[in-house]
């Protein structure tokens, strides 16, 4: 059976660099960092002092005040980004097409903030004072649920929870839903609002977070002096659409999604498998699924977390997949500017990959000052680069050994 072609027709984002795609992208290309001193929690209580927080976000710009109060921030971000993506796509959802338009939005940890607040209420005031909305505000699938309700999308409806691979798995799985004919369009990506007391405590306890107190230099992927990731928050949502469906309504097309690979390390709950072998297999599967040769890939938006093992092993995985071509690839970690959005990372990084293809400009990896001999590839250091590219991949790897890769190509009819 011939695979249906799938294209990207809309993008929407809420990020530490801006509450829309244009502001975020302009800051990414300018090499601006969205990281600052942590304000959502008392940073004096933690060794990690910085975070990439969403700034000046008003949910009531997108959602009725009463409804917004029944949503955790991770759901508010997802609803806002989805509304922007659907508007950008010019996609009108009505009774005729609602059954063929689905939603697949993931979150790594869901409504952690709601859980903490309501547990405090329970301890201090008893179960009767716990909000009746506690459970539907907390569960990770509620971003998908609320987006579906608000937009009236009645098609394939799901939520992925694969830690830091969540956003990329969500997009890859939504791509397959359309490709096999189960939907004509999917609203998909990732969302996260993890800057809470317990989440920061947990990541500090397992020494994953950077303890560099300088916000602007704390996230430094592939740099010899990297010391952990910086927690970020936000949402990245794209509209995927079957090509003929998009063309029939005259939709603008950003890029084509052509491949998806997902693997498990079967190795360790937090550490990546030696030499990134699971990530290498995900890249190989995705490139094969795309019908491409490794040497046809020109750009990688790396997982690039700024942790010791991830950056080293992702570099080794790239060398394993691409051989000599690894040294001709452009690679960047936009987490140097956005921080690590956990389950939302793959959503926002897919948008950056698509825009790199469309605009022929590659985002930089900022703070790359001291070369690491074990990270010796071209990471587009410190300044964006104008470069025409035809095919690119986005990588995401998560706790639990989840690896996901998606492949995008410049759209040609």
Residues that are catalytic = 164
- In this structure, the number of other CB atoms found within 10 A of the CB of residue 151 comes to 18
Residue carrying the six token digits 């977390």: 305
- Measured distance CA(257)–CA(291) in Å, rounded: 12
Do residues 195 and 253 lie in contact, with contact meaning Cβ atoms separated by under 8 Å?
A: no
263 close to 282: Cβ distance less than 8 angstroms:
yes
Token duo for residue 47: 């060794």
């Amino acid at each position: 059976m011939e695979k249906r072609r799938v294209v990207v027709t809309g993008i929407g984002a809420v990020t530490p660099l801006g509450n829309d795609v244009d502001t975020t992208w302009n800051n990414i290309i300018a090499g601006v960092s969205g990281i600052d001193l942590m304000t959502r929690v008392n940073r004096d209580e933690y060794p990690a002092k910085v975070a990439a927080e969403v700034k000046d976000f008003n949910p009531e710009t997108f959602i009725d005040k009463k409804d917004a109060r029944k949503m955790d921030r991770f759901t508010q971000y997802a609803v806002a980004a989805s509304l922007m993506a659907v508007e950008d796509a010019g996609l009108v959802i009505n009774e005729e097409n609602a059954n063929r338009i689905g939603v697949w939005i993931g979150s790594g940890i869901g409504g952690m903030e709601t859980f903490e607040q309501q547990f405090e209420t329970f301890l201090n005031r008893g179960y009767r004072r716990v909000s009746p909305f506690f459970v539907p505000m907390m569960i990770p699938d509620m971003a998908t649920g609320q987006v579906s309700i608000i937009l009236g999308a009645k098609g394939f409806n799901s939520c992925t929870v694969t830690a830091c691979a969540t956003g990329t798995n969500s997009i890859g799985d939504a791509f397959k839903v359309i490709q096999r004919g189960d939907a004509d369009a999917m609203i998909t990506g990732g969302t996260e609002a993890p800057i809470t007391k317990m989440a920061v405590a947990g990541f500090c306890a397992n020494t994953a977070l950077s303890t560099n107190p300088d916000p602007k230099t704390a996230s430094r992927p592939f740099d010899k002096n990297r010391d952990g990731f910086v927690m970020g928050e936000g949402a990245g949502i794209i509209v995927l659409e079957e090509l003929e469906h998009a063309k029939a309504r005259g939709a603008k097309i950003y890029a084509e999604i052509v491949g998806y690979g997902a693997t498990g390390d079967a190795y360790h709950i937090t550490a990546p498998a030696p030499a990134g072998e699971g990530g290498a297999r995900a890249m190989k599967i995705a490139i094969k699924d795309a019908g491409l040769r490794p040497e046809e890939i020109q750009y990688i938006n790396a997982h690039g977390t700024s942790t010791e093992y991830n950056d080293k092993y992702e570099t080794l995985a790239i060398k394993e997949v691409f051989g000599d071509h690894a040294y001709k690839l452009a690679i960047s970690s936009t987490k140097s500017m956005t921080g690590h959005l956990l389950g939302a990372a793959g959503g926002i990084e897919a948008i950056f990959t698509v825009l790199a293809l469309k605009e022929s400009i590659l985002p930089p990896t900022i703070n790359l000052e001291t070369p690491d001999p074990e990270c010796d590839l071209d990471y587009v250091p410190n300044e964006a680069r104008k470069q025409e590219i035809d095919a690119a991949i986005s990588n995401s790897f998560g706790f639990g050994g989840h690896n996901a890769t998606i492949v995008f190509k410049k759209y040609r009819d």
